[in-house]
Structure 1
Amino acid sequence: MRLYGNGTSMGWHSAEFEGLISQYYGGTTPFGTRQIMKLRFDLVQTSCGYGVPLFDYKGERTAIENWHGNKGPDGIQ
């Protein structure tokens, strides 16, 4: 899929960031979140997918949780 358009970034201290986190995550910021990108698409194109390999889902990785725990809230901000 190809997406064309423009985006804006919302950081931790913006009111819009806090509003979206509250709306979609109940006020708890997910591990590793540093900003939210708001995208406005002008054009969406699809492709045939013939060249896309098949993958098996094995489970979630713990790397982001480990990274988040080592940094702590102050380190992430």
Structure 2
Amino acid sequence: MGKTLPQIDDDLKAWIEKQKMFFVATAPLSPEGHVNLSPKGGDSLRVLGPLTVAYHDFTGSGVETISHLRENGRIVIMLCAFEGGPRIVRLHGRGEFLLPDHPDFGKLLPLFPPNIGSRSIIRIQVDRISSSCGFQVPLYEFKADRTVLDEYARKRGAEGLYEYRCENNVTSIDGLPGLSGLADKART
């Protein structure tokens, strides 16, 4: 049975922190634009308060989340239990991306494990929390986090990642601004 929750309480926070993976979805305003859905892993999601969460965003091949947040701010995080009792939680809200020059970036970054691949921190003011059963979500056994992204980031180095973002994170697949005009601010 699905239900909405008024806030992230201590029990929900503990459950969120145990999850090894979550999904982030955003969409442009245009009906012709592409909806984006990305899996996220590692130790990259934090509950900052009863209605605020943040995740560490790493340099990647696309920049859809940042582009959509620039355009309209809409975002949802979905977590589902792959171990233990069945449960799905969705955190709907308005998001913002914090680049390294943002005053709060330096305050939030220490909450996450160090990672050279850091691109931004996505902070979300949650306005709707829903929980549902997840009876059909399969059980999986967690083996380990993948290390490929960390190894790639170390190999490229800070300058190489900056160059990659300048080449690949300037606009979304639909041509929306991503890091365009923000490339120097995205330098870490």
- How has the CA–CA distance of structure 1 residues 63 and 33 changed in structure 2, closer, same or farther, with 3 Å as cutoff? same
Q: Which residue of 2 aligns with 1:57?
A: 142
Structure 2: which 5+ residue stretches go unaligned?
1-88, 162-186
Q: Which residue of 1 aligns with 2:133?
A: 48
Which whole-Å CA distance do the structure 1 matches of 2:106 and 2:151 have between them?
24
SS at match of 2:132: coil
- Structure whose residues are more often strand by fraction: 2
1:19-58 equivalent positions in 2, closer than 5 A: 19-22=107-110, 24-25=111-112, 29-58=114-143
Q: Which residue of 2 aligns with 1:10?
A: 98
Which whole-Å CA distance do the structure 1 matches of 2:123 and 2:143 have between them?
30
1:58-77 equivalent positions in 2, closer than 5 A: 58-76=143-161, 77=187
Instruction: Report the TM-score when normalising by structure 1.
Output: 0.79
**Deviation of residue 4 (structure 1)?**
1.5
Verify the 8 A CA contact 1:2 1:44 in the aligned structure 2: yes
Verify the 8 A CA contact 2:99 2:105 in the aligned structure 1: yes
Identity rate of aligned residues, in percent?
Answer: 28
**Deviation of residue 75 (structure 1)?**
2.3
Range with bigger deviation, 37-46 or 64-73: 64-73
**Deviation of residue 5 (structure 1)?**
1.3
Which whole-Å CA distance do the structure 2 matches of 1:75 and 1:14 have between them?
22
Which whole-Å CA distance do the structure 2 matches of 1:52 and 1:62 have between them?
26
The number of residues matched between the two structures is: 74
Range with bigger deviation, 65-74 or 44-53: 65-74
**Deviation of residue 15 (structure 1)?**
2.0
* RMSD of aligned alpha carbons: 1.8
Which whole-Å CA distance do the structure 1 matches of 2:140 and 2:159 have between them?
36
**Highest relative contact order (Cα 8 Å, sep 6+), 1 or 2?**
1
